[in-house]
């Protein structure tokens, strides 16, 4: 199951929440925390910045590069030092890493050594993102091969689990993860299916029930009609206790998403956090 958790932090308002969720799951799962703060080399390395999104291909002076690197290094160190103070008396095992590189690449690389990644839904540039996903978040969740837990600014201790299930391979992985977590965390699981066909609904509910029964957990099967993202989002809002929603990863091509939208993205953007994206 989950025995190591990666916590990328950048000093934003979300970093403390990421650490709090990390502590919560580390204690519940007896897991090791690996905390990283990335010095973004694109901010001072001309060779990496040239032609990259949002960076102008103008060669800066060596003085500018040195000063930018110094500022970024100091910022990352402060972020790591603050994390150390938060975790000092937490009774969880952890390590703190300050690394240089492109954030998406570094997060994906370090995720190879962990079972779960916890990230804030936005980063330090949140004020420009409005309701969109943070650019790093979307890139990481599309490229990474490990599950990602998305959290908001405030830590809220979860009391129940929701899982969206539509019979797809990605939703089956979500159901597996939800079942294992429900068993370990001793939480009630609500499996939500959304379809208009009565025959399909019956098939999905029976499929989910057959899968869940061997776990011996408390669960409820819920079926709805309408838009899948809206149903999952409203289920979070109406939950009697703080839930964590578990969904499968992107199930369609980028072209199809551009035309009809993505349930994954809608839930990631608008559902009450935390949201766990199973891979």
Per-residue pLDDT of the chain (279 residues; tens, 9 = 90+): 899 999 999 998 899 999 999 999 999 999 999 999 999 887 666 544 444 455 555 555 667 677 777 888 899 999 999 999 999 989 999 999 999 999 999 999 999 999 999 999 975 544 434 444 557 888 899 899 999 999 999 999 999 999 999 998 999 999 999 999 999 999 999 999 998 888 998 999 999 999 999 999 999 999 999 999 999 999 999 999 999 999 998 754 443 444 334 788 889 989 999 999 998
**192 and 91 within one domain:** no
Residue 261: its pLDDT value, please?
45
**200 and 70 within one domain:** no
List the CATH number of the domain containing 96: 3.40.50.620
Residue 44: its pLDDT value, please?
62
Residue 251: its pLDDT value, please?
55
**139 and 19 within one domain:** yes
Point out which residues pair with 163 in neighbouring strands: 191, 246
Closest CA to 5 of 36, 32, 30, 28: 32
Please state whether beta strands 32-40 and 275-278 pair in parallel, antiparallel, or not at all (unpaired): unpaired
Q: How far apart are CA 13 and CA 122, in angstroms?
A: 9
**219 and 171 within one domain:** yes
Residue 137: its pLDDT value, please?
87
Q: How far apart are CA 32 and CA 78, in angstroms?
A: 22
**165 and 97 within one domain:** no
Residue 264: its pLDDT value, please?
86
- Which range of residues forms the domain containing residue 245? 160-278
**138 and 46 within one domain:** yes
**136 and 52 within one domain:** yes
Total-model pTM: 0.86
Do residues 159 and 46 touch, judged by C-beta distance below 8 A? no
Rounded to 5°, angle at Cα 79 from 19 and 5: 35
**260 and 175 within one domain:** yes
The domain tally of the chain equals 2
Side-by-side strand order, sheet with 243-248: 94-101, 32-40, 4-8, 116-120, 148-151, 275-278, 243-248, 160-164, 188-194, 219-224
Closest CA to 22 of 36, 35, 37: 35
List the CATH number of the domain containing 256: 3.40.50.12370
């Amino acid at each position: 199951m989950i025995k190591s958790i990666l916590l990328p932090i950048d000093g934003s308002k979300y970093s403390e929440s990421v650490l709090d969720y990390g502590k919560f799951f580390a204690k519940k799962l007896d897991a090791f925390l690996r905390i990283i703060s990335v010095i973004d080399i694109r901010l001072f390395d001309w060779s990496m910045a040239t032609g990259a999104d949002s960076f102008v291909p103008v060669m800066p002076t060596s003085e500018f590069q040195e000063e930018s690197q110094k500022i970024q290094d100091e910022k990352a160190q402060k972020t790591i030092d603050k994390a150390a103070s938060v975790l000092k008396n937490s009774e969880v095992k952890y390590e703190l890493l300050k690394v240089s590189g492109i954030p998406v690449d570094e997060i994906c690389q370090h995720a190879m050594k962990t079972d779960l990644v916890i990230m804030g839904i936005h980063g330090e540039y949140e004020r420009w993102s409005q309701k969109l996903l943070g650019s790093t978040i979307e890139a990481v969740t599309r490229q990474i091969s490990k599950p990602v837990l998305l959290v908001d600014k405030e830590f809220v201790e979860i009391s129940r689990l929701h899982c969206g299930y539509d019979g797809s391979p990605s939703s089956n992985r979500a159901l597996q993860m939800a079942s294992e977590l429900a068993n370990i965390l001793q939480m009630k699981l609500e499996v939500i299916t959304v379809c208009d066909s009565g025959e399909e609904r019956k098939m999905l509910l029976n499929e989910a029930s057959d899968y869940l029964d061997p776990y011996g957990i408390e669960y409820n099967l819920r079926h709805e009609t309408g838009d899948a993202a809206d149903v999952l989002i409203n289920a979070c809002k109406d939950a009697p206790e703080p839930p964590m929603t578990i969904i499968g990863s992107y199930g369609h091509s980028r072209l199809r998403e551009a035309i009809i939208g993505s349930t994954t993205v809608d839930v990631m953007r608008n559902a009450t956090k935390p949201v766990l994206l199973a891979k």
